Chain A
Amino acid sequence: MTNSKLFSRSGWRLIGMGLISLGLVACGSDSDTESTYEYEVTITNLTAAQPFSPVAVVLHKENWQAFELGESVSEGVEMIAESGDNSLFLQDVASNEDAYSGVSGAGIVGPGGSETISVEAQASGTISLSLVSMLVNTNDALTALQTVNVSSLDVGDAMSYRLRTYDAGTEANSESADTIPGPAAVGGLREGFNSERDDVRDEAYVHAGVVTQDDGLATSTLTQAHRWDNPAAAVTIRRIQ
């Protein structure tokens, strides 16, 4: 695996923009190798009571990834994981030379619900697709698809994946109504993003699931209904162009 990740906002965005400008100039003399790739990404929420935050979909080079298991996540990923807000993540994508394009779904994808999101890029060589979304009735749970090679898909063809869930490792899993932004946090402060990192360790890992008040966690605002198992989502990627 590569260690390529999103970099912090300061500095790298300017550098990235500079490189993109250079890249565009370079592409001008090499445009015959570039094509338009367009995909429709359909995500279905397979959980009982965990709405998904607006889904961020990214087309990128093989050496970019949204986050790496066992490593600290970027602030953009932390913000999705804790609040569901993907704006910083997509800003970082827009300024990263290894990412072609990034888009957000229109809104929340509720339990049992689906959304189809279109994403396209002018690119050559290998094109990978990733997506990230928060399970909003949690402290910092994500579902994600990481670095699927979509450049070999023929127009009209599709492939399907089942997604598991991850803990961003950025927020303690108190499950309290003060710290969960979703609708399960009745009567609480519903805090979203908080830059403090206070989970058992500051690394992404496979989510252990929620404990809930029904299973004895006194601080939890969640009930048994908010539990889930893997897979938490189904994704179909269809190439349109």
Chain B
Amino acid sequence: MKLGTKLIPALILASGATASVAADFDVTIQNLTRGTYFTPLLVAAHPSSASLFSSGEAASANLQAMAEGGDISGLASDLDALGATQSNNPAAGLLGPGASATASLNTDSAEANTLLSIVGMILPTNDGFVAANGIEIPTAPGEYSYYLNAYDAGTEANDEIRGSGAPGEAGYPAPGPIDAASGTGGTGVAATVEGYVHIHRGVLGDTDATGGLSDIDSTLHRWLNPVAKVTITVR
């Protein structure tokens, strides 16, 4: 996940930085996929005691709301209660394929916030999301790159047809560009709720715009990891 790991020790050694854990930094998130969109991204620096999810374990209700419908308000409230530094929704809406958005964070007055987490739903999916789950925020000035994978929240069956963004309701929401590029009339992929957060297996899709199993386009909406690039620029 971290291409920058080879770079980080060198920079830290070079600067001799050990004591300060505060950082003034920009976070640029780029959607690297062929044809998927990210819903408003949660971008937060938080204490090392916190994490938004654990792979292999069940998702929280607020992670589910993010993954199934793009609603980050619950997670943002959870993080507020922990004193997190947040700069959410840097794209002011959907982050399209190939596009980038930048959030600025400063933890100078919140030195406990040493980890960076980023999540946003991937559309069109039932409960897929892009995530950085607690990147250690570098403190030495410089540019650091990370590549993010797609996860499945495990809270909704991947039937791959249009439907609801409400937690617990089937189907995926289809705002503007998703509506335009999605098929209709799919009968639904036979799938079950997995029950735990895991690396997404990808979407099946089909090439039938008005029928078939799936409303997802197999020639446009599939992906291979990584799905996003994150660049942290520490000032």
B-contacting residues of A (Cβ < 8 Å)? 1, 69-70, 152, 159, 164-165, 167, 173, 200-201, 203, 205-209, 211, 215-218, 229-230
Contacts and interface: CB of A to CB of B under 8 A. Distances in A.
For chain B, the bracket of interface size reads: 20 to 34
Contact of A164 (B204, B212, B226): B226
B225 interface: yes
Counting chain B CB atoms within 10 Å of each CB, which of A165, A167, A201, A218 scores highest? A201
Contact of A206 (B99, B143, B223): B223
A231 B98 CA distance: 21
Interface stretch (B31-39, B76-84, B133-141, B190-198): B31-39
Smallest CB-CB A-B distances: 9 pairs: A208-B34, A206-B32, A208-B222, A70-B98, A203-B98, A209-B224, A211-B218, A208-B223, A216-B207
Contact of B224 (A200, A201, A229): A229
Interface in B28-81: 30, 32-35
Contacts, number: 70
A167 B32 CA distance: 10
Contacts of B207: 211, 216-218
A208 B206 contact: no
B207 to A, nearest CB: 5
Nearest to B6: A159
A166 to B, nearest CB: 9
30 contacts: A1-B143, A1-B231, A69-B30, A69-B98, A70-B30, A70-B99, A159-B6, A200-B34, A201-B97, A203-B98, A205-B34, A206-B33, A206-B225, A206-B227, A207-B224, A208-B33, A208-B224, A209-B202, A209-B222, A209-B224, A211-B207, A211-B218, A211-B222, A215-B218, A216-B208, A217-B218, A229-B224, A230-B224, A230-B225, A230-B226
